[in-house]
Structure 1
Amino acid sequence: MSTLELHVDVGVPVDKAWETLHRVENYPRFVEGVRGARTEAGGRAHLDVEAGGRAREVEAEVSDRGERVMEWLTTSAPELTGSFSVQPIDQNHTRIQARLEYDPSTVRDAFGGPKGFAQTNAIQRLVRSDLEHFKEYVERG
C-alpha cells in the first residue's frame, strides 16, 4: 500500500468547509473524473467515475471519526481508503488535510495510466488538483 498526505488552506470558516466536504453530491464540481455522486442510506456513497478513458461505478462507506474527521473506504474496486480532516486555522481560515491509501497496481488495473514512480506522481498531482478545486469551489460560495 502507498500513502499520500496533502493539505490545502481555504479562506472560509471551519463549519462551512466541513459542510461542503460532507455534501457528496457536490464532488463532481471539484473532484476530477467524478461525473455523478450521491449519498445513500447507511453512510454509503455512490460515485460515477471516469478515469483513463474508463467509466466505473464506485461504492464507498463514509463515516465521521472524531471531531471533523471524515473517513471513507471503497467497497468496490479499486480498493482505496482515505480521510479528510478539517482543522480551523483562525476564524476565517481552515486547513483541509487529505490522506489516501491505495495499492498502485489495483489503481492501474482499474483506471489504466502509468506504472511505478510516474503513477505515484500522477496520483499526487490529481489529489493536489482536487484540493485546489475544492478551495476555489468553497471560497466562491
Structure 2
Amino acid sequence: MATIDETIDVDVPVRTAYDQWTQFEEFPHFMNGVEEIKQISDTLTRWTTSIAGIDREFDAAILEQQPDMVVAWASVDGTTHAGRVTFEPLGPTSTRITTHIEWEPEGIREKVGAAIGADDRQVKKDLHRFKEFIEGRRTETGAWRGTVHGGHPTT
C-alpha cells in the first residue's frame, strides 16, 4: 500500500476552503489526471481518471464529513484508494489543508511511480493548483454543509 501525506496553506477562510473541497465535480479543474467526478448521492462519487496512460473508473464512498474539519473517503469497487483531508484554521483568512491518501499501485508502472515518489509529487502539484484555484476565485463554487458519520448522512 502506498501512502501520500501532503500539507498546504491557503489564503482563504476555512469555510471557503472546505466548501470548495466538497464540490467534487470541480476536482478536474485542479487535479491532474482526474477526468470526471460525478456526485451520485450525498455519500457516493464516481471517478474517471487517466494518469500516465492508465485509465480507471471507480466509485468512492464518503465515510466521514464534518463541516470545516474533515472529508474522508474510500473506494468501494475496483481500485483500492482511500484518504482523508483535514482543514485547520490558521486565522480568519488562512487555512491549512492536510491530505493523507492510501492506494494500492497496480502494474509495474504504478509500482515504480510510487517507489520513486511520482504520486507524492502529483498530489503536491494538485494541492498547489487547488491553492491557485481557490485563492484566484476568493469564493467557493458551491457548498455541501451536511455531516456524514460511518458513511451515512446525519443531517
Structure 1 position 102, deviation (Å): 2.1
Write out the 4+ residue segments of structure 1 that deviate beyond 6 Å after TM superposition: none
Structure 2 Cα separation of the partners of residues 33 and 135 of structure 1: 17
Partner of 1:95: 96
Structure 2 Cα separation of the partners of residues 63 and 128 of structure 1: 23
CA RMSD for the aligned pairs? Answer: 1.8
1:137 paired residue among 109, 133, 149: 133
Structure 2 Cα separation of the partners of residues 81 and 45 of structure 1: 13
Code of the aligned partner of 1:133: R
Structure ranking higher in helix proportion: 1
Number of paired residues?
Answer: 135
Q: Residue 28 of structure 2 contacts residue 35 of structure 2 at CA under 8 Å; is this kept in 1?
A: yes
Unmatched runs of 5 consecutive residues or more in structure 1: none
The alignment-based identity, stated in percent, is 25
58-67 vs 69-78, which moves further:
58-67
| TM-score, length basis structure 2 | 0.80
Partner of 2:147: none
Structure 1 position 114, deviation (Å): 5.4
Cα displacement string for residues 54-85 of structure 1 (whole angstroms, at most 9, x for unaligned residues): 22212100133455110010112220110100
Partner of 1:127: 123
Partner of 2:54: 54
Counterpart secondary structure, 1:32: coil
Structure 1 position 138, deviation (Å): 0.7
Q: Residue 63 of structure 2 contacts residue 74 of structure 2 at CA under 8 Å; is this kept in 1?
A: no
Cα displacement string for residues 97-120 of structure 1 (whole angstroms, at most 9, x for unaligned residues): 0001123xxx233x93452622xx
| TM-score, length basis structure 1 | 0.87
